[in-house]
Amino acid sequence: MERKHIEQLLENVAAGKLKVKDAVSKLETLPFEDIGFASIDNHRNIRSGYPEVIFCQGKTCEQVAEIMLKLSKDNNNVMGTRADKQQYEAVKEVLPDAVYFKEARIILFSRNPRIKEKGYIAVVSAGTADIPVAEEAALTAEILGNTVERVYDVGVAGIHRLFAKLDLIRSANVVIVVAGMEGALASVVGGMVDRPVVAVPTSIGYGSNLGGLSALLSMLNSCANGVGVVNIDNGFGAGYLAAIINRQK
Amino acid sequence: MERKHIEQLLENVAAGKLKVKDAVSKLETLPFEDIGFASIDNHRNIRSGYPEVIFCQGKTCEQVAEIMLKLSKDNNNVMGTRADKQQYEAVKEVLPDAVYFKEARIILFSRNPRIKEKGYIAVVSAGTADIPVAEEAALTAEILGNTVERVYDVGVAGIHRLFAKLDLIRSANVVIVVAGMEGALASVVGGMVDRPVVAVPTSIGYGSNLGGLSALLSMLNSCANGVGVVNIDNGFGAGYLAAIINRQK
Amino acid sequence: MERKHIEQLLENVAAGKLKVKDAVSKLETLPFEDIGFASIDNHRNIRSGYPEVIFCQGKTCEQVAEIMLKLSKDNNNVMGTRADKQQYEAVKEVLPDAVYFKEARIILFSRNPRIKEKGYIAVVSAGTADIPVAEEAALTAEILGNTVERVYDVGVAGIHRLFAKLDLIRSANVVIVVAGMEGALASVVGGMVDRPVVAVPTSIGYGSNLGGLSALLSMLNSCANGVGVVNIDNGFGAGYLAAIINRQK
Amino acid sequence: MERKHIEQLLENVAAGKLKVKDAVSKLETLPFEDIGFASIDNHRNIRSGYPEVIFCQGKTCEQVAEIMLKLSKDNNNVMGTRADKQQYEAVKEVLPDAVYFKEARIILFSRNPRIKEKGYIAVVSAGTADIPVAEEAALTAEILGNTVERVYDVGVAGIHRLFAKLDLIRSANVVIVVAGMEGALASVVGGMVDRPVVAVPTSIGYGSNLGGLSALLSMLNSCANGVGVVNIDNGFGAGYLAAIINRQK
Amino acid sequence: MERKHIEQLLENVAAGKLKVKDAVSKLETLPFEDIGFASIDNHRNIRSGYPEVIFCQGKTCEQVAEIMLKLSKDNNNVMGTRADKQQYEAVKEVLPDAVYFKEARIILFSRNPRIKEKGYIAVVSAGTADIPVAEEAALTAEILGNTVERVYDVGVAGIHRLFAKLDLIRSANVVIVVAGMEGALASVVGGMVDRPVVAVPTSIGYGSNLGGLSALLSMLNSCANGVGVVNIDNGFGAGYLAAIINRQK
Amino acid sequence: MERKHIEQLLENVAAGKLKVKDAVSKLETLPFEDIGFASIDNHRNIRSGYPEVIFCQGKTCEQVAEIMLKLSKDNNNVMGTRADKQQYEAVKEVLPDAVYFKEARIILFSRNPRIKEKGYIAVVSAGTADIPVAEEAALTAEILGNTVERVYDVGVAGIHRLFAKLDLIRSANVVIVVAGMEGALASVVGGMVDRPVVAVPTSIGYGSNLGGLSALLSMLNSCANGVGVVNIDNGFGAGYLAAIINRQK
Amino acid sequence: MERKHIEQLLENVAAGKLKVKDAVSKLETLPFEDIGFASIDNHRNIRSGYPEVIFCQGKTCEQVAEIMLKLSKDNNNVMGTRADKQQYEAVKEVLPDAVYFKEARIILFSRNPRIKEKGYIAVVSAGTADIPVAEEAALTAEILGNTVERVYDVGVAGIHRLFAKLDLIRSANVVIVVAGMEGALASVVGGMVDRPVVAVPTSIGYGSNLGGLSALLSMLNSCANGVGVVNIDNGFGAGYLAAIINRQK
Amino acid sequence: MERKHIEQLLENVAAGKLKVKDAVSKLETLPFEDIGFASIDNHRNIRSGYPEVIFCQGKTCEQVAEIMLKLSKDNNNVMGTRADKQQYEAVKEVLPDAVYFKEARIILFSRNPRIKEKGYIAVVSAGTADIPVAEEAALTAEILGNTVERVYDVGVAGIHRLFAKLDLIRSANVVIVVAGMEGALASVVGGMVDRPVVAVPTSIGYGSNLGGLSALLSMLNSCANGVGVVNIDNGFGAGYLAAIINRQK
């Protein structure tokens, strides 16, 4: 029940068309969603021009295609994450304008790309194997309207490569660090920049990396300040968090 | 070796007071930190007016007092985190102007408080027992120059209390969510605001809360986007991360 | 040895057809299950009209078909859980009346459906991916004689959708909450209803969800009271527990 | 804002004392809890006559006393869980009628005990060391208006003791099973009764009991159906869940 | 209800003194413990002359004393494990003949020591710090009527000490191996003897020993056959298991 | 250096053909294996008539066949555990007399079966899915010369089935208990017999069974005494341990 | 910017060709890599003649071939670890001289093999299944210029086989111990040699071996001194560490 | 049986005083320790001049004093690790020359210090709180005859401090890296030196550092090669391993 409905109700009370008792009942029983919709909706996507997002992994090709088609009617921008080639093929049949970013595993349907934010987000990754997650983060940030600088393959085992890119990293508004194995890159970068760092542990490694827990724990226990951590392999989440940090108020 | 020292060296070379060979030696052998100072120093604290920070837990009273005294000479602002009353007493003897925030367990020595950022950071906490961590986060953010709005005791078991404060939370630039037990508050808040959320799991709970791992895992697996997580009970880290997110560029 | 057999034995003793000594032997040596049947049998299924249940996962098609056929002779209702299509095809050949519920992965053979309990059980689930587990819970509850209201896809990331269904949820006799990832939905629902909540963590998620442990720990540490937890992905167990809670005494 | 306040507001609108515009503002801006009170309050305690509950562990004596005093003004019944003797002494000074149950570690202030539900709840525990948790469960259930039958020290290592009490257990409306170590009692009881079983793992044991995780995992993986599990040592939670299961609709 | 009671009942039926209907009722309702007592009692202690055992840890001095006193009336031998000095003092006041074994932390009251089994049990331990657990095992085995050979401080870091005692170990009927840290001793001994090995991991160590889990996992994964494992620090359990293995049939 | 070589050496010393000094050197430097062979060999298999054992899982068909063939030359009995059908086919080509036990996944080549021990070993298992592990244990015990009584599908959820077989179980010399899920069967059986119990956790279950850790922890924390535990799914190890317990001295 | 570039710059300043101000700017802004290259490069591979190494697992055949080809241009020796047959086939097409070591899963391209170090490294492994990891370690050490002695299949279950090779092991400069299951071999070897031991846990085993964690924890908690541990299954890392220990200074 | 006993035996054989047959028996049955002593003793301490070492933690003052006194009679050097002040006081009473290193928690009794090895070992530590473990490592290496360079408080959060000491670190023969929290220092140092790195995780940190497991896992998963890891807080072990790496052959 939006404002104008409440006004109407009160007008009717004031005009004697509606008894106080009945008005109380209406107010008491009005569906939560109606009040709620106005005051607590989380439609930040709509308000901010952010796309609707579908987590494709584990869904059938048909489901992905159907959901993207449906969402594309009410949204200018729709993205599917963790999508494979088959899912994209299915989407393409119903949304021929959808494009697929293979490395980032993202399907994008975009009628009206978001205007770019000022400055840029740096996406820094440790090893070659971390690139899919890094790309998911980078592309997500781009789709959400940010310029992105990619600084890949600068793990701490060859730290001079990282330092060669230090100025680029330090000039970013937000830095996303993507690393598997021991995840030390997050601490090293965190110690050298004075901007927020979003750390993404990856499941890259083997044995006692415990599917990414090793990197995750490293990042949570970072001796550097200013580091916020997202779930293992969650490139999308990192790109999203970086984007809302970078969004102009 | 700061800029003016390098200038002086080069002036001497230009003036013939210093031989090229000797200048090369000086440049080559100058301690890394000196060259480094220009290009890779992490003295973001100094540049940003942020205080130096001491993690007091596990240090003796004497150690804390000595370090704070020493740092107070070169820094306008020094803070000690996880400090107990005894440590404060020791600090007070050498730095009579130091103040102690009991609940947040912070000792602060401040000659020149940082100018306030615009807007505010909301610190939202679930239960009474989470307040010390929330206070550590809130006070840290304040010391780093932010206005803070505290929204305490709004756990999801009585979610109407949270909704009563929704406008206040949604108008913040950054939201810190502090919760123990199952840590569900981070997801609920994350789903309702469109600003960055810094989630702090606490060790509050018992049994299968596993010393805070339950809340930590919840927050990392949050179904809401835009949530970055810090270590268990790391109120300082959350306040710091929120502060650099909120800092005007 | 059921009651009537014991009666017959005693009649024979009373009639002098059976010697006391022989009767004692018969009573002493009768298989434990027979005495046991009266005093400690766990055939609550039979007494309550509940079906016999087979956990099909990991069994061959032949085994499932054979067991269902055998049980169908002595039981009016038999259900197979975690059954796949192939297993159903095998069952169908020997029990043509068996039906298959694909999403819930349940095979049902029912000669005499149980009479409905009063009121209803609400099955609330967080995300699309949780629906198979939710359906397993819902269908189990229905097979055990309950009316079920399904409230799906109301995860806390979009909490207004949950609130829109609040009345429906709050009027249930028992509420089953199915959620993966961080499992926060159980706490939110638990805080809003005053009926027993059966929480089912699912393995949906990735990385630090640890195959469902994240949601499980959340639910066990719920700050809301009145929540009982079952094993990860155990939709059947939740439906069963809800059913015996809802059963009229 | 309770019903009578909304009525008053509408009366004023009807009487022309309050303009529609102003009434809308009032309704729009009234604290969420007031609107919320009608539609989403979780005051099931008030509605059901259940007491307010304070988790005392980790609170100072002063805090416990202050909170109990405050709550006692608006509530007929207030209970404090995990309370020690010192906390009780502090409460007693401000609430002389409060009583203390040492073994269950519960402080109770009760002006108007809840009317008894029909039937009873059985609390079954494995070892002597599990009794404090069992007592917390039993007393909680009693305070919430239930008759309780205690069946203690019937662990599966001496299973004939359990069977001696089988009739008593099987006649309960709800059965609470409290066990540490390997927690096998929950499965054994669960296999023998056809009523809901609330299982409480305890931290009793040592070594690989992992602080209660061993019993917790046992109970979650129970081969018996109809078992819902609460957190380790959570006697209060078990008593509460059993109580709302047993409450007449 | 023992045999003679059933005979009496049937005699009464045969004699017409008891109606069939009443006899059925009596048989149906006879307490489980009565039938059960005969067929499923676990009073192996009584039958085997084994003592009753009390786990003293976590009990008050009064409780320990009271239980020992009570048990001493019906049992010739009573032992308390994990008992401290204070508990013993309390026991001694009520049972002056009770003796205390400090290192093994065992209180023993013995009126009629069990006759010795043939052969002996070897108790082999790795380090000095493992001796309390080893002593608990050794003394338990002795109390249960076995000769014990102690082979202490023969950890694999100085494996020649172990080999020096090899004949002694290999001639035992059962070998108990007690080791903390990495627990390798169990595998080494297991590979060299052809008698059953009972392995007891201890919590000795630090850091990644995880409170004994390191040794426990080692022993469970032993590449040697014929090794059965008990809980961490469970010297009593090892002694008990070894004793029933060694008992003559 | 076997006995005859040492004899020869000493003969030479006695005959003056070898100087004492040279003999000392030879003895001092003789390879460890030679002396060692006599004093520390672990050829308990050979001495006891036990077969050589090959763990086939993860080996190629060729490897399994080759090893079995080679061992069959020096050993009357050879068994392969965790063997699949393909591996057996490969073995059969080189050892036509080898037989395959499908459920137990054991290949056996036996020229001279071991003489039977007296009495029998009972193998008790909880669910249908535990049978392969139970069979591996049972068949292993049989191959090692024991009579085995199988008591399958007597899980605690239907405890009357267990009781019906109680006499059979209690008359065994050793009892092997095989159970997955919560593993409660080990405690229940352990509490009812006064013979050694070898407990085998299985990986049967899902979710929080953690691949068998749930059952493993249950068994290690058993409240019943006299229980020794082997690794998850280690049917062979249980059969072997039971066999050496049961072997007549 | 190497030394000669800095000299040139200073010469220009001295000669008045370059203003001090401009020189300062150049020094301040010179890319980090240039200074860094001289002072902190980690090109130990180049300096030591060690090959470049590619971790092939998870890379496509094309990626592996491309990277090896590229590296082969600037490096005399390139090795690929964890490579499968298909990857090797792809490499062979572009680098016909590349060879493949199947068991060690290593592809090697070597134009100029490293000169041999003095002495040798012993690689000791426990079981047949550990050989691939042992071979990876052995071959890595050989490629890095070491003589290697392989001592395989000497697990502690048959410890006499280990002792037979003791002299060979004790004469090595460095000992690599490779073991899965309980990993006891590392402690036994560590206790018998006085040279550095590099311990490699393997994932061989099942159930509670937890994918190699059991062996890893054993090795970290070794009661023997002088043992350094690498990641589970990390044969390459062990070979590399052993090689740099053995390298002549 | 030492050499002279074997000589005597052979003399007797040569002299005809002992029959060959009897001599064989004696040799066959001579206690393992005697032969073993020569061929497999692990008295590397004695041979290398290394001290005997006592792990003092958990021992009483009396035990520590008694053991040190006893060992001091046969050893020139004895050290006690993890010793507290009280233990030292007790030792001092019986060994007045013993000295105590407070920070390293080491008691040293040294009659004849070991001759220094060439070159030095660098001990690099991350934070102030890691110093006790670093000192334990450094002092251990010194006692074992090495020169040590300490490079403390150079954690990666302020990486320029580390770089300022790079030359010192890179010139060491072995580098010990001591770090808690996320342990990233090991990877960073490992990537910059071409000497063996011994990594020591410490338990410094809180929350998800899991008592040092976070740093341990980081170090095991290091992306840098040439890193061997010891147990959490095991400064002694690191110093020992570094010492035997650095020992001249």
Q: Are chains G and H touching, using the cut-off of 8 Å on CB pairs and a minimum of 3 such pairs?
A: yes
Q: Which residues of B touch H165 (CB under 8 A)?
A: 32
User: Same domain, yes or no, for F146 and F190?
Assistant: yes
Torsion region of F243: left, alpha or beta (phi above 0 gives left; psi -120 to 50 gives alpha): alpha
- What would the pLDDT profile of B98-124 be if each residue is shown by its tens digit? 999 999 999 999 987 777 888 999 999
Q: Which residues of F touch C203 (CB under 8 A)?
A: 207
Q: Which residues of D touch C212 (CB under 8 A)?
A: none
User: Same domain, yes or no, for G239 and G158?
Assistant: yes
Quick check: is E167 in a domain? yes
Torsion region of F105: left, alpha or beta (phi above 0 gives left; psi -120 to 50 gives alpha): left
Whether pLDDT at A47 is above 60: no
Quick check: is B60 in a domain? yes
**Neighbouring-strand partners of residue D179:** D201
Q: What's the pLDDT score for residue H208? A: 92
Least confident of A234-243, E118-127, H27-36: H27-36
Count: domains in chain E: 3
Non-local (6+) Cβ contacts of F205 within 8 A are D221, F180, F181, F212, F214, F215
- What would the pLDDT profile of B195-249 be if each residue is shown by its tens digit? 999 999 999 999 999 999 999 999 999 988 999 999 999 999 999 999 999 986 5
Q: What's the pLDDT score for residue D30? A: 41
> In chain G, whose CA is at the least distance from the CA of F58?
G129
Q: What's the pLDDT score for residue H240? A: 96
Q: Are chains C and H touching, using the cut-off of 8 Å on CB pairs and a minimum of 3 such pairs?
A: no
B128 and D32 within 8 Å at the Cβ level: the answer is no
- What would the pLDDT profile of B160-207 be if each residue is shown by its tens digit? 778 778 889 989 999 999 999 999 999 999 988 889 999 999 999 999
Least CB–CB distance from E173: residue in F173, F231, F249 = F249
Q: Which residues of F touch E53 (CB under 8 A)?
A: 225
Whether pLDDT at G81 is above 90: yes
Neighbours of chain A (3+ CB pairs under 8 A): B, C, D, G, H
- What would the pLDDT profile of C118-168 be if each residue is shown by its tens digit? 899 999 999 888 999 999 999 999 999 999 999 998 888 878 778 778 889
Mean pLDDT, residues E200-224: 94
H232 and E158 within 8 Å at the Cβ level: the answer is no
User: Same domain, yes or no, for F25 and F78?
Assistant: no
What is the residue type of B107? I
Q: What's the pLDDT score for residue H136? A: 97
Nearest chain H Cα distance for residue F164, angstroms: 48
What is the residue type of G231? N
Q: Which residues of G touch A164 (CB under 8 A)?
A: 31-33, 36
Least CB–CB distance from A159: residue in G42, G211, G232 = G42
Q: Which residues of G touch H227 (CB under 8 A)?
A: 230, 237, 241
Q: Which of H129, D60, D81 is nearest to B132 (CA)?
A: D60
- What would the pLDDT profile of G166-188 be if each residue is shown by its tens digit? 889 989 999 999 999 999 999 99
- Give the separation between CA F138 and CA F235, rounded to whole angstroms: 8
Quick check: is D115 in a domain? no
Q: Which residues of C touch A200 (CB under 8 A)?
A: none
Q: What's the pLDDT score for residue D163? A: 79
User: Same domain, yes or no, for A149 and A241?
Assistant: yes
Percent of chain H whose predicted confidence (pLDDT) is above 90: 57
User: Structure pTM?
Assistant: 0.87
Where is the domain boundary, C77, C110, C143? C110
* 3-state SS class at A188: helix
Whether pLDDT at E248 is above 80: no
What phi and psi, each to the nearest 5 degrees, are found at residue E21?
-60, -45
Mean pLDDT, residues G95-114: 92
- Give the separation between CA B192 and CA A40, rounded to whole angstroms: 7
Where is the domain boundary, F76, F110, F144? F110
C181 and B222 within 8 Å at the Cβ level: the answer is yes
How many inter-chain contacts (A to H, CB under 8 Å) are there? 119
- What would the pLDDT profile of F82-118 be if each residue is shown by its tens digit? 999 999 999 999 999 999 999 999 999 998 777 788 8
Nearest chain C Cα distance for residue E44, angstroms: 21
Q: Which residues of D touch B160 (CB under 8 A)?
A: 32-33, 36-37, 40-42
Percent of chain H whose predicted confidence (pLDDT) is above 70: 87
User: Same domain, yes or no, for F190 and F78?
Assistant: no
* DSSP state letters, chain H: --HHHHHHHHHHHHTTSS-HHHHHHHHHHS-HHHHHHHHH--THHHHHTPPEEEE-TTS-HHHHHHHHHHHHHH-SEEEEES--HHHHHHHHHH-TT-EEETTTTEEEEESSPPPPPSSEEEEEESSGGGHHHHHHHHHHHHHTT-EEEEE-S--GGGHHHHHHTHHHHHTSSEEEEEE-TT-HHHHHHHTT-SS-EEEEE---S-GGGGGGHHHHHHHHT-SSSSEEE--TT-HHHHHHHHHHHHS--
Least CB–CB distance from E58: residue in D129, D159, D209 = D129
Q: What's the pLDDT score for residue F99? A: 96
The pLDDT-based confidence of E70 (bands split at 50, 70, 90) is confident
Q: What's the pLDDT score for residue B91? A: 97
Quick check: is H205 in a domain? yes
User: Same domain, yes or no, for A63 and A162?
Assistant: no
D229 and C227 within 8 Å at the Cβ level: the answer is no
Quick check: is F162 in a domain? yes
Q: Which residues of E touch H211 (CB under 8 A)?
A: 207
Q: Which residues of H touch B1 (CB under 8 A)?
A: none
- What would the pLDDT profile of F34-76 be if each residue is shown by its tens digit? 333 233 333 344 445 688 889 998 888 998 999 899 888 877 8
The pLDDT-based confidence of G3 (bands split at 50, 70, 90) is low
- What would the pLDDT profile of A156-174 be if each residue is shown by its tens digit? 887 877 877 888 998 999 9
- What would the pLDDT profile of C63-72 be if each residue is shown by its tens digit? 899 989 988 8
User: Same domain, yes or no, for D65 and D167?
Assistant: no
Least CB–CB distance from H207: residue in B32, B55, B231 = B231
Q: What is the CATH number of the domain that holds G213?
A: 3.40.50.1970
Task: Give the residue numbers in C contacting A (CB under 8 Å), as ranges.
Answer: 128-129, 157-161, 163-164, 166-167, 204, 206-209
Q: Are chains G and A touching, using the cut-off of 8 Å on CB pairs and a minimum of 3 such pairs?
A: yes
Neighbours of chain F (3+ CB pairs under 8 A): C, D, E, G, H
Nearest chain B Cα distance for residue C137, angstroms: 22
User: Same domain, yes or no, for G106 and G25?
Assistant: no
User: Same domain, yes or no, for F148 and F41?
Assistant: no
Q: What's the pLDDT score for residue D32? A: 35
Where is the domain boundary, E110, E128, E156? E110
Average pLDDT for chain G: 85
Percent of chain C whose predicted confidence (pLDDT) is above 90: 57
Task: Give the residue numbers in B contacting A (CB under 8 Å), as ranges.
Answer: 39-40, 42, 44, 47-48, 53, 119, 163, 166-167, 173, 191-196, 198, 216, 220-221, 225-232, 236-237, 240-241, 244-245, 249
Percent of chain A whose predicted confidence (pLDDT) is above 70: 87
> In chain C, whose CA is at the least distance from the CA of B209?
C221
Quick check: is H115 in a domain? no
- What would the pLDDT profile of D204-219 be if each residue is shown by its tens digit? 999 999 999 999 999 9
Nearest chain D Cα distance for residue B201, angstroms: 17
User: Same domain, yes or no, for B17 and B53?
Assistant: no
A222 and H181 within 8 Å at the Cβ level: the answer is yes
* Ranges of chain C with pLDDT below 50: 1-2, 29-47
The pLDDT-based confidence of D45 (bands split at 50, 70, 90) is very low
User: Same domain, yes or no, for B22 and B39?
Assistant: no
Q: Which DSSP symbol is given to A196? A: -
Q: What's the pLDDT score for residue G31? A: 34
Q: Which two tokens stand for residue C152?
A: 């799906």
Least CB–CB distance from F33: residue in G129, G163, G207 = G163
The residue segments making up the domain with residue F56 are 32-110
ipTM of this complex: 0.83
G234 and A159 within 8 Å at the Cβ level: the answer is no
Q: Are chains C and A touching, using the cut-off of 8 Å on CB pairs and a minimum of 3 such pairs?
A: yes
E184 and G181 within 8 Å at the Cβ level: the answer is no
Mean pLDDT, residues G78-96: 96
Quick check: is H125 in a domain? yes
Angle at D138 between CA D134 and CA D143, to 5 degrees: 145
User: Same domain, yes or no, for D156 and D201?
Assistant: yes
Helices (H) and strands (E) counted in chain F, each on its own, are 12, 9
> In chain B, whose CA is at the least distance from the CA of G18?
B14
Least confident of B15-29, E232-246, F104-118, G125-139: B15-29
Whether pLDDT at D41 is above 50: no
Whether pLDDT at G209 is above 80: yes
What phi and psi, each to the nearest 5 degrees, are found at residue H237?
-60, -40
Q: Which residues of G touch E225 (CB under 8 A)?
A: 157
List the C197-201 sheet strands across, edge first: C147-151, C120-125, C174-179, C197-201, C227-229, D227-229, D197-201, D174-179, D120-125, D147-151
Q: Give the other-Cβ count within 10 Å of D102's Cβ.
A: 12
Least CB–CB distance from G20: residue in B10, B21, B27 = B10
Least CB–CB distance from H24: residue in F6, F35, F40 = F6
D237 and C225 within 8 Å at the Cβ level: the answer is yes
The pLDDT-based confidence of F3 (bands split at 50, 70, 90) is low
